[in-house]
Amino acid sequence: MSTADVNKNEEIEKKFLVTSSAWKRHAAGQLYRQGYLSIDPKRTVRIRVVGEQGILTIKGERVGATAPEFEYPIPIADAMKLLDTVCLRPLIEKTRYTIDHKAHRWEVDEFHGDNEGLVVAEIELTAENERFERPEWIGTEVTSDFRYTNAQLVERPYIKWKA
Distance in angstroms (rounded) separating the CA atoms of residues 3 and 127: 9
Start-to-end Cα distance in the chain:
41
Structural domains counted in the chain: 1
pLDDT digits (tens, 9 = 90+) for 1-51: 343 444 578 999 999 999 999 999 878 899 999 999 999 999 999 999 999
Residue pLDDT, tens place only, 95-131: 999 999 999 999 999 999 999 999 999 999 999 999 9
Query: What's the residue count for the chain?
Result: 163
Question: Tell me, what DSSP letter sits at residue 82?
Answer: H
The CA distance from 138 to 136, in Å, is 6
Rounded average pLDDT over 137-162: 95
What's the number of CA atoms in the CB half-sphere (13 Å) around residue 149? Answer: 22
Point out the residues that are catalytic. Answer: 36
Per the DSSP assignment, residues forming a β-bridge with 68 are 10
> CATH number for the domain including 115?
2.40.320.10
Residues facing residue 60 across a β-bridge:
43
pLDDT band at 163 (very low <50, low <70, confident <90, very high): low
Q: State the pTM of this model.
A: 0.90
